[in-house]
Chains A and B, each alone.
Chain A
């Protein structure tokens, strides 16, 4: 079983819809990251969370440490939001240089149609 599970794997939405992508993890973590990868493009970091909720524009990320679960929400989705969204966790069990390692989910491919 992967340490980081994302759902759904694929998501198709109409422009304007509210989007939710989920991430569950099985290890103790010190931080959780949400990343975005456009087709053919590099990966950019959207959020880093260790508790609570963060908001940036139309993107909202939440985390529930007790339930080992995080969600990424996109409000008023737009075709330019089409990308792969990746959840990654930094384990609290590592030490030294290993403390900076991330474990990644397999990603959620989001397609927003006009």
Chain B
């Protein structure tokens, strides 16, 4: 079974803190994605990566950066967390066909 894991299920941070969200997949997928999910807005793509050290901006990259130093790991970084970044963050990895999602990290920024 494909497994996508995220470093935390719940996270509480303060405004201005630097936040790291980690995602690891064990199926040697080239493509990895970071989404946020908000009520009434659905899933929105923040960044994605289609190879090690390669990244592309998604629909809402502002306030975020990413790092992919190894194929299995894709990190989302909030350089200076703000309250409007309180959300559910979902990581996914994919073959060319299907995306497999992690369990999500519910981030609260106070």
Contact = CB atoms under 8 A, between A and B. Distances in A.
Interface stretch (A14-22, A37-45, A53-61): A37-45
A83 to B, nearest CB: 14
A106 B56 contact: no
Contacts, number: 50
B65 to A, nearest CB: 17
A104 interface: yes
Contacts of B42: 86, 104-107
Interface residues of A, number: 20
A102 interface: yes
Interface residues of B, number: 27
Given A106-B41, A107-B42, A100 B98 contact: no
Given A98-B56, A104-B42, A106-B42, A31 B101 contact: no
Contacts of A105: 42
Nearest to A96: B50
Q: Secondary structure at chain A's binding surface: helix, strand, loop or mixed?
A: mixed
Q: Secondary structure at chain B's binding surface: helix, strand, loop or mixed?
A: strand
Interface in B74-105: 90, 92, 94, 96-104
Contacts of B97: 31, 48
A114 interface: no
A31 to B, nearest CB: 7
A42 B102 contact: yes
A52 interface: no
Interface of A: 31, 33, 41-45, 48, 86, 88, 96-98, 100-102, 104-107
Interface of B: 31, 33, 40-45, 48-51, 54, 56, 58, 90, 92, 94, 96-104
15 contacts: A33-B98, A42-B101, A42-B104, A43-B92, A43-B101, A96-B50, A97-B31, A97-B54, A97-B56, A98-B56, A100-B48, A102-B45, A104-B43, A106-B42, A107-B42
